[in-house]
Amino acid sequence: MEFCNIIGHENIKLQMKNSVTSNRFSHAHIFVGEDGIGKSLLAKEIALDILRKKQMKQYVDIIEFKIAKGKKSIGIEEVKNIIEEMNKKPYEGDKKVIILYNSDKMTEAAQNALLKTIEEPPSGSFMLLLCEKLDGILDTIKSRCQVYKLNRLSQKDMKIFLDAKFPSLSTEELRSVLAFSDGIPGRAEKFISDISLSEMRNIILNIFKELCRENVSSCLKLSDCISKDKYEWQEVLTCILSYIRDVLVYKETGNRKFIINIDKFEDIKTIGEMFSFNKLNDIINVVKDAREKLESNVNRTLVFNSMLVKMQEV
């Protein structure tokens, strides 16, 4: 396993190589990490290696299962299809790989139905489970799989990724993308290509301006905008914190070269003139509290509304 197309995750790549070298490569693996961190790419590279293929393309013996459109979970019927597929003989060689996305969205009954197949897989079959949160996977499943936690990339690795993927980025653009992506390659790609993120950044700037005017009702209307499903809540909070970071830095140094969101420099200056250091630090704590609630699956709209009211009050 060379992992030539994968940047970062050195510990995981080393573990995988060692397991192959020592002939201890498991038939079932779990890759856990945030959306955009690289789980899918890593799984596909491993699948290619298992099938002894070099080119990254679709193969009949690499089968990908995802949550059906309009559904929020993977049920027993979907798992039955997975089991049926695993029991079919490979078409081209003697091995086949099943990649199951959002495996933490399987119902408990579905996971129990899959358990026996994971315990006693058909010869030559391998299963790669991808998930964002490991606590959504039953212990009985986890104990029978090799588990790998994908962490955020370092600044150095993110620069390598961006230089390779987007070589025409200016220095200022690179700084903005690095700040917003927060070590997640998929988030960097989205920042560059998704116009909805540009809209979100503007909405958040307007929220700060309305906070300056102490206009709570307008803030709550804007809260409805960032509560929409098209915006990931992690991205919303990261954006808020990146603006606060820039305001604090500018207030402290007065130097624009340290500003990450340099394209919003005039707005950063305006906010800095209207918010004190203490208020900005208090807002950071409010955002952190909101993150904890959202990670605990508290209603998103309620959390954002509460967060903006508290930001006004501090």
Confidence band (pLDDT; 50, 70, 90) for 97?
Answer: very high
* Domain count within the chain: 2
Asked if residues 64 and 35 have their Cβ atoms less than 8 Å apart, the reply is no
Same domain, 49 and 116: yes
Domain residues for 289? 194-313
> What's the whole-model pTM score?
0.75
- pLDDT category, 105, cuts 50, 70, 90? very high
Would residue 107 count as lying in a domain?
yes
Query: Do residues 69 and 200 share a domain?
Result: no
Q: Which residues contact 19 (CB under 8 A, 6 or more apart)?
A: 25, 26, 146
Residue 173 lies in a domain: no
125 and 199 both lie in a single domain: no
Task: Note whether residue 158 is domain-resident.
Answer: no
Predicted pLDDT at 230: 63
Contact 214, 312 (CB under 8 A): yes
Q: Does the pLDDT of residue 228 top 80, yes or no? A: no
In this structure, the answer to whether residues 199 and 307 fall within a common structural domain is yes
Are residues 137 and 71 located together in one domain of the fold? yes
The verdict on 260 and 140 lying in the same domain is: no
Average pLDDT, the chain: 87
pLDDT score at 259: 85
pLDDT attached to residue 117: 92
CB 243 within 8 A of CB 209: no
Alpha-helical segments (H) within the chain: 10-21, 39-50, 76-87, 108-119, 139-142, 155-165, 171-181, 185-193, 195-212, 216-226, 233-253, 265-274, 277-295, 300-313
CB 28 within 8 A of CB 144: yes
CATH code (residue 87): 3.40.50.300
Q: H helices of 149-194, where?
A: 155-165, 171-181, 185-193
**Does one domain contain both 14 and 125?**
yes
**CATH code for the domain in which residue 209 is found:** 1.20.272.10
Residue 226 lies in a domain: yes
Same domain, 204 and 257: yes
